[in-house]
Amino acid sequence: MGTAIARILADELEASWDDIEIIHVDSDPRWGYMVTGGSWSISQSWPVYRQAGAAGRTALIEAAAKKWGIAPADCKASNGKIVSSKGELSFGELVEMGLTRQFTEEELKQLPLKPNADLKLVGQQVTSLDIANKTNGKTVFGIDAKVDGMVYANPILPPTRYGSKVVKFDDSAAKSVKGYQQTIVLDDASGSVPGWLMVIASSFFAAQKASKLVKVTWDEGETANVSEADIIAHGKTLLNDASKGGILDTGNVETEPAFAGAKSTIAEEYITSTVLHAQMEPLNALVFKNPDGIWEIHSGCQWQSLTLPVLATALAEDEANIVIRSYMLGGGFGRRLNGDYTIPAALTSKALGGKPVKMVMMRPQDMQFDSARSVSVQQLKMAFDGNKAVTAMEHHATAGWPTQVLAPGFMPKGINGQPFDPFSIAGADHWYSVGAQKVRAVSNDLAIATFRPGWLRSVEYRLDWLGG
């Protein structure tokens, strides 16, 4: 993805590919809204980076034309330089002279883009900028982040995602572990990690060892005994209530007459199980307060603009005083869209006066704390005519909705005025001709009360994609 985005920008800018380097920025608002997920990065970046490249090329041409005292039309950008009958100037030389050109949104839209036939990098073989370091071990992932003086924190997770409260704990046995320092009960105003304890030690292994010796008593909350079977049964009950859920605008929703006059019909119910992300790199975060009073969050992240407000709530701090320094992801698949794993490290650092705290989850902890893709119940019904052509179709589905929990503003409303999670019903509003059609999506409130549903998207790579 890094190479692909860089290629879009460099091509339109007319930069030399040998001069291109990928630098990951922080979460400063000046970089705009920050999210990568759903395989959107290239499709949504295509117009943005082409406009940016065109703006840069235009600004450089204008600067060179002014320097030479000629018209911009008499200048051309090519391979990292502006050339004309007066000579040539490199992009670097022009930048050193100072560029102050700014563009309005309307001006950006009006900038001429290169014809696709003239693109020299997009769609062509180029040297990948990010693959080599990923394969030779030089790439720095979130799990590699470290600073001097940091301590390690190992979480002790409660028996439920929500509702658990620590009644008491006994760390007397943990004090025998060399390097053990203390155990902290987190107080989380954001509601991300209720009932959590963090075991602090001078080394990763000491924190792991000591945490196994801490005895904890919890008030487990109301969902301690909820099973996947319970969530499925509740989903079926929800689907039986026709008043619930958002109905997607997929055409004629009055399907019963079509079914009544059908030559034949089928009706089936399908269950999809809970799915964990199981990304290669376990969840991790390094957090500290720097000498300027800014909270630094060092971690891999897919959605900085969603995570920052949650961190601000948890730390009781203004967003302007928090910065996420993003690292490469050892797999995400949607798990790192939800930045909840940064919260326990941040709260622990705050409890320690801003001291650097590094949290790395072990695989069982990562799985237990996952924002899993929810189990779903899907009920489908189809009608056919005498030629076995589909004349009507209904699709009713229920699951725990991640968008409802994490980003409700992204939920549209159905034709009945009720909101629905478009990611939890994706594909149901298909493009096939099925006559009268009705699609209804229902939120499973028991799933949402029991765990935090998440987005999950798996990706298949082909060899000819590896350069992009």
Is residue 240, in this structure, part of any structural domain at all? Answer: yes
Residues 147 and 33 occupy one common structural domain: no
- Mean pLDDT within 1-25: 94
What's the rounded Cα separation, in Å, for the pair 193 and 338? 13
Residues 33 and 126 occupy one common structural domain: yes
Is residue 445, in this structure, part of any structural domain at all? Answer: yes
- Mean pLDDT within 409-424: 96
Is residue 56, in this structure, part of any structural domain at all? Answer: yes
Is residue 82, in this structure, part of any structural domain at all? Answer: yes
pLDDT at 466 over 70: no
Is residue 461, in this structure, part of any structural domain at all? Answer: no
Residues 314 and 428 occupy one common structural domain: no
Residues 46 and 152 occupy one common structural domain: no
Name the domain boundary from 346, 368, 390: 368
pLDDT at site 429: 81
Query: Which tokens go with 165?
Result: 């409260």
What's the rounded Cα separation, in Å, for the pair 410 and 101? 34
Is residue 83, in this structure, part of any structural domain at all? Answer: yes
pLDDT at 56 over 50: yes
* Residue-by-residue DSSP string for 160-210: SSSS-EEEEEE-TTGGGSTTEEEEEE---TTSSSTT-EEEEESSHHHHHHH
Say what percent of the chain tops pLDDT 70.
97
What's the rounded Cα separation, in Å, for the pair 337 and 434? 35
| 377-392 residues labelled b (16+ CB within 10 A) or e (exposed) | bbbebbbbeeeeebbb
What's the rounded Cα separation, in Å, for the pair 204 and 405? 33
Own/partner long-range contacts of 106-109 (Cβ < 8 Å, ≥24 apart) = 108/51, 108/54, 108/55, 109/51
pLDDT at site 280: 94
Say what percent of the chain tops pLDDT 90.
88
Structural domain boundaries enclosing 16: 2-136
Q: What is the pLDDT of residues 372-385, one digit of tens each?
A: 999 999 999 999 99
CATH number at residue 358: 3.30.365.10
pLDDT at site 244: 97
Q: What is the pLDDT of residues 280-320, one digit of tens each?
A: 999 999 999 999 999 999 999 999 999 999 999 999 999 99
What's the rounded Cα separation, in Å, for the pair 82 and 452? 53
pLDDT at site 464: 44
pLDDT at 468 over 50: no
pLDDT at 416 over 80: yes
pLDDT at site 97: 95
Phi-psi region of 393 (alpha: psi -120 to 50; beta: other; left: phi over 0): beta
Residues 26 and 171 occupy one common structural domain: no
Residues 188 and 215 occupy one common structural domain: yes
Task: For residue 247, give the H/E element and its range.
Answer: strand 246-248
Q: Following CA atoms 154, 158, 160, 165 in sequence, which dihedral angle do they give, to the nearest 10 degrees?
A: -130
Q: What is the pLDDT of residues 164-220, one digit of tens each?
A: 999 999 999 999 999 999 999 999 999 999 999 999 999 999 999 999 999 999 999
Lowest mean pLDDT among 172-181, 366-375, 432-441: 432-441
For the chain, the distance separating the N- and C-terminal CA atoms, rounded to the nearest angstrom, is: 5
Q: How far is CA 353 from the centre of its chain?
A: 30
CATH number at residue 83: 3.30.365
- Mean pLDDT within 317-339: 96
- Main-chain phi, psi angles of 453, to 5 degrees: -60, 150
Is residue 245, in this structure, part of any structural domain at all? Answer: yes
Per-chain mean pLDDT for the chain? 94
pLDDT at 461 over 60: no
CA atoms within 13 Å, Cβ hemisphere of 176: 6
Q: Which of 246, 323, 338, 243 is nearest to 287 (CA)?
A: 323
Residues 302 and 262 occupy one common structural domain: no
Question: pTM higher than 0.85, yes or no?
Answer: yes
Is residue 463, in this structure, part of any structural domain at all? Answer: no
Residues 6 and 147 occupy one common structural domain: no
Name the domain boundary from 353, 368, 383: 368
Domains in the chain: how many in total? Answer: 3
Burial of residue 331, with CB atoms counted within 10 A of its CB: 0-12 exposed, 13-18 middle, 19 or more buried? middle
Q: What is the pLDDT of residues 32-50, one digit of tens each?
A: 999 998 888 888 889 999 9
pLDDT at site 253: 67
Q: What is the pLDDT of residues 211-270, one digit of tens each?
A: 999 999 999 999 999 999 999 999 999 999 999 999 997 777 677 778 888 999 999 999
Residues 321 and 433 occupy one common structural domain: no
Q: What is the pLDDT of residues 388-397, one digit of tens each?
A: 999 999 999 9
Residues 22 and 82 occupy one common structural domain: yes
Residues 171 and 286 occupy one common structural domain: yes
Angle at 394 between CA 389 and CA 397, to 5 degrees: 140
Name the domain boundary from 305, 335, 368: 368
Residues 351 and 300 occupy one common structural domain: yes
Which amino acid, residue 45? S
